[in-house]
Amino acid sequence: MGKLIKYLKPYAFLAVISPLIMMGEVLCDLCLPYLTSYLVNYGIQGLDITSPQDGSKVALWLARTFLGESPAEMQLIVLFGVLMLVITLAGGFFGTFCAYTAARAGQGFGRDLRCDAYRRVMALSIEQTDRFTTGSLVTRLTNDISAVVELIEAILRHFVRAPLFVVGGTFMLISLDLKFGVVLLCALPVLLTVLVVVLVRAVPLFSKVQTRLDRVNSVVQENVSGARVVKAYVREDYECERFRQANADLRAVNMRVMKMMAFISPVLTIMMNLSVVAVIYIGGFNVAIENSGMTTGAIMAAVTYVTMVVNSLMMIAGIFVSISRGNASARRVNEVLAEKPVIAGGAGGEERGDVAVSFRNVSFRYPGTVGRPVLHDLNLEIRRGETVAVIGTTGSGKSSLVSLIPRFYDAVEGEVAVDGVPVKDYDLTELREKIGFVMQKTVLFSDTIAGNIRWGKADATDEEVREAARTAQADEFISDFEAGYDTFVAEKGASLSGGQKQRVSVARALVRRPEILILDDSTSALDLATEGRLRAELKKRTGETTVIMIAQRIASVMEADRIAVLENDGTILHCAPHEELLQLSQTYRDICDSQIRSGALVRKGAGENE
């Protein structure tokens, strides 16, 4: 928790005055029982306020200040009643103001912490976010930070209030009569023992609660995002059972914590009531003794002070629960903040040349895996303005290859360079601004179609958006919508077909006019005619743009300037035009033959003529 205190520094003034204001509320509350005793003793019971035995110097001073030398009983009732009302209003003001300042400090703390944590998550590499899991990151940025905020507010408000009530209430109780102190002397050890035993057993469970909550969130996230697959395979019952188990595990840990914490309240309540009975018994016994110095008002005040002290101990128990839960959550948030991005940018690069992208003896395996690398000793140069296709069997590493260019992952051996500069030397923003990436898995956001296209270039004009859509063969179907480009896209693009989503994604990449355009199997949902028109438009409009495309169909890549064939061992042995590859590469011939047999390969240019 100490590492997160720095987020409270901008709100230091609010954090300091909150406890000070709370002291004002506590002092007001501590004064009320004494005023109650004055009202009962001198206003209702009619005791002599000047009597050495039953009188009070404070009460006498108040009476003479506001009422003169010989006030009537009714006047004393009104006086002390009005003073109680004034002090109650003052305490209410202090309490409300403290709640406001504590909330401002706590919520500001939470906002800043949440922003920093979110920025750190955005800066992490894909392998790091995979290690945390999506469900866990969602829990840490929401539930865990909320628990830390609650702790901050509890400290600013109750961390002063509860101890002051215990100390102040005990002092005021003893000032009424030392005999009442014996009651607390007997009760406090029992109460403190119960608190310590319960909290020592409950505290370790709070981390387990958050871990179980991670699991619940992960299951929900997986099933919501994969709802169509679940329904398609009729696995609702299985997934419901999986969620039920995760939920049951969370409930079991929560129940263990709640059972332990539930033990505190009855014990404190019993001890409080026994203490009240003891105070009344001691007070009643002494009142019955003539000239004992004990009054009815003092007994009433003592009962209130005992209640205050015990309730404050219950509040302290709640504070320790908040501290335990908050510390567990703070550790989890700190894990995110302390995670250094594996992929960090360099100072940037200027060098340019004829070669736009080069792979030099590159080997790559995914983090945490062993065995044969996905890519092995791979060499490839792609010239500026060239269109190069990458083809290979399923699982040969085509998507892994292009993921190294924008540094979604780093090569474990060798070097990937853009414009002759190693990608590790680039500032990440500068590197990725050069690239338009259309991913294999289409991702659209809950926004308008125009808004999704502008993800590629935030300041794109309406004409630039339409031009990119026309090139991507998306303008026609967009114009058919009633709202056109202002049509709102449902979450994850659920309101669009697969081909429509792919074309919007292509438009998003084109609108930024990238130096390097990567198309990772981004036309798989298009028919050959639409794909042919898209390729023709790309060829006309991309100009000097270097295009790297991955596709499964030979018909999609045969017009590329060169085709790189990725072998199953992760190497590229041949990179040449279509006709040459038919002579050079057995792997390429096998792919062609399999597609000819399946009817997937059409004659060159068929897409444009259909």
* R_g over Cα of the chain: 37
The SS3 call for residue 601 is coil
Q: What is the pLDDT of residue 202?
A: 77
**489: which DSSP letter?**
P
Contact present, 84 and 32 (Cβ < 8 Å)? yes
Strand order in the sheet with 355-364: 375-383, 355-364, 413-418, 421-422
Angle between helix 178-202 and helix 145-176 axes, rounded to 10 deg: 160
Q: What is the pLDDT of residue 610?
A: 36
CATH of 2-338, one of 3.90.1150.10, 1.20.1560.10, 3.40.50.1240, 2.40.110.20: 1.20.1560.10
Q: What is the pLDDT of residue 609?
A: 36
pLDDT digits (tens, 9 = 90+) for 224-260: 777 777 888 788 888 899 899 999 999 998 888 888 8
Q: What is the pLDDT of residue 293?
A: 67
Q: What is the pLDDT of residue 601?
A: 47
Residues contacting 178, CB < 8 A, separation 6+: none
Query: What does the longest C-alpha to C-alpha distance in the chain come to?
Result: 122
Q: What is the pTM of this model?
A: 0.75
- The label of the residue with tokens 């009104």 reads 78
- The label of the residue with tokens 């014990």 reads 267
Q: What is the pLDDT of residue 53?
A: 73
The SS3 call for residue 564 is strand
Question: Pick from 310, 304, 305, 315: which is nearest to 269 by CA?
Answer: 310
Q: What is the pLDDT of residue 405?
A: 92
- How do 562-566 and 572-576 pair as beta strands? antiparallel
- What is the token pair recorded at 303? 């009962």
Q: What is the fold of 384-397+432-609?
A: Rossmann fold (3.40.50)
Alpha carbon distance 482, 522 (integer Å): 26
Residues contacting 93, CB < 8 A, separation 6+: none
Question: Within the chain, which residue ranges are assigned CATH 1.20.1560.10?
Answer: 2-338
Length of the chain: 610
Question: Pick from 53, 14, 10, 62: which is nearest to 35 by CA?
Answer: 62
Alpha carbon distance 54, 524 (integer Å): 96
Question: Within the chain, which residue ranges are assigned CATH 3.40.50.300?
Answer: 384-397+432-609
In this prediction, the residues of the chain whose per-residue pLDDT falls under 70 are: 290-293, 348-350, 492, 597-610
pLDDT digits (tens, 9 = 90+) for 138-185: 888 988 899 899 889 888 888 888 888 888 988 888 888 888 888 888
